[in-house]
Amino acid sequence: MTFLTVQHVSHQYFSSDNYTKALEDISFEVSEGQFLSLIGPSGCGKTTLLSIIAGLIHPTEGTVLLEENEIQKQKVQLGYMLQQDYLFPWKTIKENVLLGPHIQRKKDVSMEKQAEELLAEIGIGDTKNLYPNQLSGGMRQRASLARTLITDPKILLLDEPFSALDYQTKLKLENLVATILKTYEKTAILVTHDIEEAIAMSDTIIMLSASPGKIHKIFSVPEELQQMNPFEARQHAAFPSFFQNVWKEMDDLGQ
C-alpha cells in the first residue's frame, strides 16, 4: 500500500482583482520510509506543495492521501523543520523539545527522559538546561530536530532546514538527519534549492518547473548513493555524473 499519495493537486492564490496559479496537476506517490526531495527554480511552488501536504493549505483542486485517507480529515502528527528553528528564547532546550508533548498533554517523566535521550543521541545532551541564545545555529537546528522527532511524526517535512548554516555545519547536519531518519524509519520530504543536497539525502527527486509549478521530471537516485550517508555519497564516483544530469535538466528550465 502506498503511504502518501498526491493526486492531481493544483492551487491558485486569489487577490481582489487577479489570481496566480502556483501549482498545476501534481501527482506522485511516496512509500513508507522513503526520502523524497522537491527541487526547482524560484517560484515553482515547492513550499506551497509542502504546505498542502502538511494540511496547512487546502488545494484548489486535488487531494493528498495518507494511508489512503485524506490528510486534511485526519489528526495526523506531522513533523515540520524550517530554515529558522523557532525555539522559544525564554525556555530551556529541554523545555523547547518537550513543547509538543506539553501541548498534547503527554508530558510526563518518561517523556522527559525521552527528550534527554534524544538530545544525547543527536550530540547536544549537555545543552538541555541552556537557552537558545547560548547555542550556535547548528546546535539550535539539532534541538529543532529533537523537538520534531519526540512527537513520533508519521512524516517529516523539511523546508530548507540547512540553508542558513555554514557549509561544514550543513554537511554535519545532513549526515545527522539522514542517519536519524533511517534509524527511526521515518518518511521525509525535503524542499531544497541545493541539487547536491537533494542527491546526497534522497531516494527520489522531483523537479518542478515554474509558473505554474508542474512536475518536470522524476529522478531515482542511484542505489549505491542511497546506501551511503550524505558525506560519503558526495565522494562516490557515481555522484558527479548524476549531478550533471540533474543540473542540466534544471539549467534547461531556465532557458
pLDDT digits (tens, 9 = 90+) for 217-250: 999 999 999 999 999 999 999 999 999 999 999 9
Cell numbers 542505489 correspond to what residue? 223
Residue 95 has pLDDT above 80, yes or no: yes
> Residue 73: what residue type?
K
Distance separating alpha carbons of residues 230 and 225, to the nearest angstrom: 8
Mean pLDDT score of the chain: 91
- pLDDT at residue 1 in the model: 66
Residue 57 has pLDDT above 70, yes or no: yes
130: nearest Cα among 101, 91, 87, 169: 91
Q: SS3 of 215, please?
A: strand
Distance separating alpha carbons of residues 216 and 69, to the nearest angstrom: 27
> Which residues sit opposite 78 in a β-bridge?
155
CB 169 within 8 A of CB 177: no
- 255 — pLDDT class (breaks 50, 70, 90): low
> Which residues sit opposite 243 in a β-bridge?
none
64: nearest Cα among 80, 74, 52: 52
In terms of pLDDT, which residue wins out, 164 or 125? 125
Whole-number percent of the chain with pLDDT over 70: 96
Q: SS3 of 169, please?
A: helix
Cell numbers 526520502 correspond to what residue? 35
